[in-house]
Amino acid sequence: MTNDALISASRRQSLIAMLSIPVIALAASSFTINTAAHAADLPRVLVLATGGTIAGQADPRAAGAYKSGQITGEQLVASVPGLDKLARVNAEQISSIGSQDMNDKVWFALTRRIQQAFDKNEADAVIIIHGTDTLEETAFFLDNVVKSDKPVVIVGSMRPATAVSTDGPGNLYEAFQVAADPRSRGRGVMAVLNDKIQSARSVTKTDTTSIETFMSPNGGPIGYVDTAGGVRFLAQAPSAKRTTYALPTSDPLPRVDIVYSHANMDAIPIADAISHGAKGIVLAGVGDGNTSKSALDALEAAAKKGIIIVRAARVRSGFVTRNVEVDDDKNGFVVSEDLNPQKARVLTQLLIARGVTAPAELQKAFTATW
């Protein structure tokens, strides 16, 4: 297949159909690609694979069933024609899990490997192959700890590699297009799926199974990409330097629990979180981050004991505002601004690990990230 065919919009679907043939038969040998004479002029992209649906293999237990993380990053990259025209590629396996099992240990390993690759000038960009369930949390964590303006792109798929209509190959090709584009520098961690480029702060999964699942409700995508038209950013890269936090010396991160608000809520979930050693509690509140009186009273009592309380919202979009329905100043609460509960949890963990525990300082950190 020629490069012209790859960048033809009319043939993108045929490319995906061809790539839906199971790739598990590909050899998993020592991996590098690109032997073309012009290879030295191409950017160096390090692929770090963690598993996920994109690396999934069909399972006979039911129609459409699959097991995540069965195919290596090397095999996935080798299955996509034309990547050697975009970059010089090395692939490494960090883990082989479904992203529902993503954990601090893998986050720390990813961070250290990315930072090492950039600090030692081993790579010009990094692509992370990841499952979709917690992709937004990993992206946001890395966006807050990786210290570099070089591109980090996270990519996954909603359908496994062995599915007839897998979206993985197209997503992976487009991730390479973004990673290799010099305009990607200085934009932090970006998620690339389904022809869209989304920022780590704003992106979230919105549908259980549709390939049109990743959206940015408060900000919209930061750009678009396709095999025909290439990369289109909607604005210049921000000129301000991103705020990042030092990676703690060892995992795990401090325990922070999310408590989900609902009608007729009592204080039991809050007491349970405290009994299990939570250093912080993120409220996935109704409306503007609100909850029942009994739950609010329990959260206020917890805050007085030094437990960090962050009000977020269970609704999909909008900002949580201070002191409107809840007296945050009196209660010693923090509001999440635009961050959803799962991302508010990540930032709270990083701040506690750094020793930031005063509500005013915590609020300043949440606000400064917008």
Interval 256-280: pLDDT, tens:
999 999 999 999 999 999 999 999 9
Instruction: Give the pLDDT confidence score for residue 56 in this predicted structure.
Output: 85
In sequence order, which residues have a C-beta less than 8 Å from that of residue 93 and are 6 or more positions away? 49, 72, 73, 74
Q: What is the rounded CA–CA span in Å between residue 334 and residue 80? A: 46
As given in the structure block, the two tokens for residue 77 are 């990259």
| Weakly modelled stretches of the chain, pLDDT under 70 | 1-38, 58-60, 62-65, 369-370
**Half-sphere exposure of residue 183: CA atoms within 13 angstroms, side-chain side:** 14
Nearest 5°: phi and psi at 90? -125, 140
Residue 223 to residues 17, 285, 310, 332, Cα–Cα distance (Å): 25, 31, 31, 38
> Which of 204, 230, 236 has the alpha carbon at shortest distance from 217?
204
Nearest 5°: phi and psi at 246? -65, 135
Length of the chain: 370
Q: What is the rounded CA–CA span in Å between residue 166 and residue 108? A: 30
Q: What is the rounded CA–CA span in Å between residue 185 and residue 146? A: 13
Instruction: Give the pLDDT confidence score for residue 52 in this predicted structure.
Output: 94
Instruction: Give the pLDDT confidence score for residue 24 in this predicted structure.
Output: 34
Q: What are the residues facing 311 on neighbouring strands?
A: 283, 335
Instruction: Give the pLDDT confidence score for residue 1 in this predicted structure.
Output: 46
Angle 215-219-220 from CA coordinates, rounded to 5°: 45
249 catalytically annotated = no
Contact between 155 and 171 (Cβ < 8 Å): yes
Instruction: Give the pLDDT confidence score for residue 60 in this predicted structure.
Output: 64
Catalytic residue among 53, 132, 166, 291: 53
Instruction: Give the pLDDT confidence score for residue 7 in this predicted structure.
Output: 41
The answer to pTM > 0.85 is yes
Rg of the chain over Cα atoms, rounded to whole angstroms, equals: 21
Pair type for strands 230-233 and 223-226: antiparallel
What is the number of other CB atoms lying within 10 angstroms of the CB of residue 283?
30
Q: What is the rounded CA–CA span in Å between residue 195 and residue 130? A: 17
Instruction: Give the pLDDT confidence score for residue 2 in this predicted structure.
Output: 46
As given in the structure block, the two tokens for residue 150 are 């070089």
Residue corresponding to tokens 């992106």: 203
Instruction: Reduce the DSSP state of residue 79 to 3 states and report it.
Output: coil
